[in-house]
Copies of this chain bind each other. A is one copy, B any other.
Amino acid sequence: MNRKATRPIGIFDSGVGGLTVVREIHRALPFEELIYLGDTARVPYGTKSPDTVTRFAREDAQFLVKRGVKALVVACNTVSAWALPALEEWLTLPIFGVIEPGAQVALEKTRNGRIGVVATATTIRSRAYEVAINRLDSKARVFPKACPLLVPLVEEGWLRHPVTLAVLKEYLRPLLREKIDTLILGCTHYPLLKPLIRRVTGPKVALVDSAECCARFVAARLSQAGLLHPRQERRGLLHSFVTDDPERFEAVAAQFLGGPVEQAWKVELPPVKLALTGARSSR
């Protein structure tokens, strides 16, 4: 047995949104230990510049690597869009983002090759979904739309509010006009808006939830690499760390995970050291 296999999977995000990815990974891989880091003191990342997002991502990754994780899941679309190459160049362990899995599933689902993407401003600016989709199918057409109000609306708890419906209509109208038949929900918060999004798109547009796609992708790849936890009884635990007040995290996390959450711990993230164990430069 690969001794590494019993180590936890590390998952990080700019805030609480990545817990939608945690929920799906826990569903797909119930025996894995999970460590979650939410950078709640500096959330959101989706409005910040690529340089700043990459700096924050390295600090987040360093925190999890120091805790001996066997793999790293970047639950944040913005980090996946901008900082994945920088992390892969720097670290030796398997690293998974949410963009590639979402792109794959969207291509499986589309019939007319016209795919919409809704995401934060910084994710959209990266064109990461277009690149990932067109690398797999150069004929597919991608219609991107930045939706900066959706995260605040979810965090305000207006999941079924008429204002949220009006905002979604405004954001989605140009994509529907382009006759998309598939829509990628390219931000961890958006799956909570599925019922309202469905009302705007109608039943014929397939919704691709990047959290679900990512979990299936991680499960398949860890299995191929012989890195799945060997135990088949007791379910794995979730250990959560945040950079702002843990109490407020726990309250919002319950909404994302659909039930009460274990205690979270507050941590500070130091600047990155290149001589990190597990970094390529230290081998």
The 0/1 profile, CB within 8 Å of B marked 1, for residues 145-166 of chain A is 0001101110110100011001
| A274 part of interface (Cβ distance < 8 Å) | no
Segment with Cβ contacts to B, from A47-55, A64-72, A106-114: A47-55
| A273 part of interface (Cβ distance < 8 Å) | no
For residue A192, give the distance in angstroms from its CB to the closest CB of chain B.
16
A51 CA to B162 CA, complexed, in Å: 35
Please tell me if the beta carbons of A48 and B52 are within 8 angstroms of each other in the complex: no
For residue A84, give the distance in angstroms from its CB to the closest CB of chain B.
20
Chain B residue with Cβ nearest A39: B42
Q: Which of B48, B149, B244 contacts A152 (CB 8 A)?
A: B149
Which residues of chain B are within 8 angstroms of A244 by Cβ–Cβ distance?
48-49, 52
Which residues of chain B are within 8 angstroms of A243 by Cβ–Cβ distance?
52
Please tell me if the beta carbons of B166 and A245 are within 8 angstroms of each other in the complex: no
Chain B residue with Cβ nearest A42: B42
| A283 part of interface (Cβ distance < 8 Å) | no
Please tell me if the beta carbons of A155 and B41 are within 8 angstroms of each other in the complex: no
Which residues of chain B are within 8 angstroms of A155 by Cβ–Cβ distance?
47, 148
A166 CA to B52 CA, complexed, in Å: 34
The 0/1 profile, CB within 8 Å of B marked 1, for residues 227-258 of chain A is 00000000000000001110010000000000
Listed in ascending order, the chain A residues whose CB lies under 8 Å from chain B are 40-43, 47-49, 51-52, 148-149, 151-153, 155-156, 158, 162-163, 166-167, 170, 243-245, 248
